Chain A
Amino acid sequence: MFVLVAGGGKVGSNVARTLRRIGHEVTIIEQRRDRFAELEEEFEHAAIVGDATEIFVLERAGIARPPDLVVAVTGDDEDNMVICQMARERYGVPKVIARVNDPRNEPHFDLLGISPTISATQTIMALIEHEVPEHELIHLLELRKENLEIVEVQIDKSSPSAGKRVSGLKLPSGSRLISVMRGGRAEIPDHDTELQPGDQVLAILEPGKEDELRRVLLKK
């Protein structure tokens, strides 16, 4: 696979290095001279100096071929958005991945249809939520394009779903239980599976159905 990485900071250089190690062709674009000098030593002609939002720089990096994937990981959200948009709209790049530096810009990425996006803040928040679940319903994975998400729920004694069969739960439409972890073993629940206190349940659902699901499984 041919991958173009825009942004040669810690994120970009490590992504490029890893991709190369596992056998992919990579070009990496970096604007800052000092960083570029280091990248050039390692990546040689596959390192390009310049502003990755300039069309002639992108073309020198091979965007017209086009790459199978463009990874925009500069420290500027507006630059990442423009790189992804140009890659897709002008050069027909089939897949883009963008880094979100300021999570408040996430709606702009969504607005411009740029997905998937990676945000360090959100990843950290998700991990914190996992450790300190505030709503007893932990977001594990968001499938933005598919408009689905996977959440984890811990069933306890006071949960209204404890002791009930899956078929007896009034799960919201657009949601489904996908696994039940009990005593260190996971199983795929069917209609007859009875939920017990201590179960860790994974559910897939459409965003916005969280409250309904929480009510059915956990009360309140």
Chain B
Amino acid sequence: MKAIVVGCGRVGSAVAKKLTKSGWDVTAIDENEEALARLGEHWSGGFVVGHGMDVNVLREAGIAEADAVVVATNGDNTNIVVGQVAQKRFGIECTVVRILDPARAELYSTLGLRTVSPTSTAIEVLTEAVKSCSVKPLRAPAAAS
């Protein structure tokens, strides 16, 4: 199975490595050549320097044969567009897009994009972490509106 990871920052590079470990054939894309270093010395997968909005870069990374695409650049709107290009133009059903803004993540998931919002996850986890402390709140919880 072949996967393409667009955006090889902290998140993208780690996803690329994890997928490789689980047996995927992974090619990472990043604008910055130095991002290759994040994949470690023994990176055996592919790496293409370029912008994910550039269809030629996606093609060079092998999007025509890809089974999955992960989009995790540092720009929400870039991710939204690249994700839709992968999904609609190249017909890759398993396209997963990181969107930091919870509002846009929710909206685009209703529009049929598989979105992941780390911010929403962080909000949930942080709130739960506070609730799990053995400290009593001053007021009774507000009724759900």
Q: Which residue of chain B lies nearest to A112 when distances are taken between CB atoms in the complex?
A: B84
Contact A105 B53 (CB under 8 A): yes
Contact A79 B107 (CB under 8 A): no
Contact B104 A81 (CB under 8 A): no
* Residues of A in contact with B, size category: 20 to 34
Q: Is B80 an interface residue (CB 8 A)?
A: yes
Contact B53 A77 (CB under 8 A): yes
Q: Is B33 an interface residue (CB 8 A)?
A: no
The interface stretch among A17-25, A40-48, A52-60, A159-167 is A52-60
Evaluate whether A78 and B78 lie within 8 angstroms (CB atoms) in the complex, with A108-B53, A112-B84 already known. Answer: yes
Contact residues, A80-111 vs B (CB, 8 A): 81-82, 85-86, 89-90, 104-105, 107-108, 111
Evaluate whether A111 and B85 lie within 8 angstroms (CB atoms) in the complex, with A86-B107, A89-B111 already known. Answer: yes
Contact A107 B55 (CB under 8 A): yes
Contact B77 A111 (CB under 8 A): no
CB distance from A202 to the nearest CB of B (A): 34
Interface of A is mostly: helix
Contact B101 A82 (CB under 8 A): no
Contact B80 A82 (CB under 8 A): yes
Q: Which residue of chain A lies nearest to B80 when distances are taken between CB atoms in the complex?
A: A82
Q: Is A187 an interface residue (CB 8 A)?
A: no
Contact with A along B59-89 (1 / 0, CB 8 A): 0000000000000000111101100110011
Contact B85 A108 (CB under 8 A): yes
Cα A108 to Cα B89 with chains together (Å): 9
Q: Which residue of chain B lies nearest to A74 when distances are taken between CB atoms in the complex?
A: B77
Contact with A along B89-107 (1 / 0, CB 8 A): 1000000000001011001
A positions within 8 Å CB-CB of B: 53-56, 76-79, 81-82, 85-86, 89-90, 104-105, 107-108, 111-112
Pairs A–B under 8 Å by Cβ, sample size 8 = A81-B81, A82-B81, A89-B107, A108-B81, A108-B84, A111-B85, A111-B88, A112-B81
